[in-house]
Amino acid sequence: MAASRRRERRHVTAIAAVAATTALTTALLTGCDSVNTALDCVRTADSIADSVTALQQAVENAANDPTQTDASLDSIQQNLKKIGDQTDDADVNKAVDHLQQAVDNVRTAVKNGDSTPDVTPVTDAAGELTKVCTP
């Protein structure tokens, strides 16, 4: 199980790295406003990837400190709000909504007593968001 989570973390990190590289390359080819928006989206998506990794670790260590799961979920939601406030792109907003729903599902599972909720939908939705943030 731990190996699977490590692979998921590597997957999210790799997606974020590809998105950042693509956004920087695009900066050389497009206008400043769209590039700045794309870079903001990529930076925030990268922060979300970090938060997803923290969430995975928090779930693994829930017996030691159950508050870390809530803190990780809060961090993801704050970053989602940043992206939602910065864009009117339909695909980005759809990905934000998808990730928000996945976060809500994990939060509900935790509130219902699940100390090790499945965070795979959060990881998948974070990857989807990273893809749509890439211009």
pLDDT at res. 9? 55
Separation between Cα atoms, residue 77 and residue 54, nearest integer Å: 13
Alpha helix segments (H runs only) across the chain? 2-27, 32-60, 67-86, 90-111, 120-133
pLDDT at res. 130? 81
For the stretch 50-74, pLDDT in tens is 888 888 888 887 767 778 888 888 8
> Is residue 122 predicted with pLDDT exceeding 50?
yes
Separation between Cα atoms, residue 52 and residue 76, nearest integer Å: 7
Going by the DSSP 8-state scheme, the letter that residue 116 receives in this structure is S
Higher-confidence position of 135 and 27: 135
Separation between Cα atoms, residue 115 and residue 72, nearest integer Å: 14
Token reading at 109: 């599972």
> Is residue 86 predicted with pLDDT exceeding 50?
yes
